[in-house]
Amino acid sequence: MSREAMPQPGAWRGAGGAEKPTLEAGAASPGPPRAARAAAEHEEDMYRAADEIEKDKELLMQERGSSGEPRLSVAPEMEIMDYCRREWRGNTQQAARMRKGYEEVSQKFTSIRRVRGDNYCALRATLFQAMSQATASPAWLQDPELTRLPEKLISKHSWIKQWKLGLQLEEKGEDLVENIKESLALLRRKWAALADLGTAEARQLACDELFASADEEYLLYEAIKFLMLSRAIELYDDREQGKDVPFFSVLLFARDTSRDPAQLLRNHLNQVGHTGGLEQVEMLLLAHAMRHTICAYRLSKHGTEEFLTVFPTDPPRDWPVVTLIAEDDRHYNIPVRLCQETSL
């Protein structure tokens, strides 16, 4: 997509970065949900409209199935074309496009793991993939200043006190600094423990266990959201000081709902896990916050140059790569078992 097709922010200082992602600004489409699947085989899509927020607590009571066991955040792997045939068996243009997309992905990956489709879906898929394939703890995560970051930022930006914890964490105390510090410390500890495991199979099993523990899983999302906010503040301040910034950050703060980091928190990050997920421009922010390259097969874009979208468009070579499958820019699944060596 050309830059001319994007909303233009005007002559901002520091807007000279070369990054011009081929995606819509705020590209989470408000369009219809995915095509209906066979009822016996299809779990509910848990994206919720804003007018359903009063049902949140009832939904939390449904987090456990009739057996009393927590629902899987990331389902066991299955053969990718078996999954495709099960989910996209119709004769519509959309179903045909999705099948073609899956056929192309199956040339690189043999299997898929379905990610639970609530409003944490993008965070869940990205973090699970990053942690399950980690062979070393990232340097930025080992920084001793990391757990001091909440106190530092909140003392400087009092509006961060508007932070909204995930519904699953509402029973925690009201000390925001301590809650965020706890989440960052947990992220550091769990990532390091996974990286220390000797085999990919051991990491997968440990990750499955971690993401089945609701208390810990949702704390990890708070940590990542805070890192996203921290990165957004850094980019905004750089732009205000006339420094060069990545082009996606120009788009991020060009939206009427996120003219500055405070609005980004109130109108976007606070809604993640409640009434909304991550928009496409926020996937770029996620990539920068985690210092990971996110490669997404956008199946609805099959046959276009946007079929394989890379966040960011020109990543540093030393960033680890995670690969996702997006059916509709809202729901992400995880491809597994590479069947041939590929490169970006």
Q: Give the tens place of pLDDT for each residue, 115-154.
A: 999 999 999 999 999 999 999 999 999 999 999 999 999 9
- Give 56's pLDDT tier (boundaries 50, 70, 90): very low
- Give 307's pLDDT tier (boundaries 50, 70, 90): very high
When computed from its CA atoms, the radius of gyration of the chain, rounded to whole angstroms, is 20
**207 belongs to the catalytic site:** no
Cis peptide before 335 (omega within 30 of 0): no
Q: Which of 42, 84, 118, 256 is catalytic?
A: 118
Strand 321-326 and strand 332-338: the pairing is antiparallel
Query: Does the pLDDT value for residue 310 go beyond 50?
Result: yes
Over residues 288-300, mean pLDDT: 97
Look at 71 and 270; give whichever has higher pLDDT: 270
Q: What is the mean pLDDT of the chain?
A: 83
The Cα-based distances of 112 to 83, 147, 321 in angstroms read: 8, 35, 17
**pLDDT at site 328:** 87
Query: Does the pLDDT value for residue 4 go beyond 90?
Result: no
Q: Which of 84, 121, 207, 295 is catalytic?
A: 121
Q: How many CB atoms lie within 10 A of CB 50?
A: 9
**84 belongs to the catalytic site:** no
Query: Does the pLDDT value for residue 228 go beyond 90?
Result: yes
- Rounded distance, CA 211 to CA 217, Å? 5
- Give 340's pLDDT tier (boundaries 50, 70, 90): low
Query: Does the pLDDT value for residue 343 go beyond 50?
Result: no
Q: Which of 288, 292, 302, 331 is catalytic?
A: 331
Q: Which residue has the tokens 């109130």?
A: 266
**331 belongs to the catalytic site:** yes
Strand 308-311 and strand 293-298: the pairing is antiparallel
Query: Does the pLDDT value for residue 167 go beyond 90?
Result: no
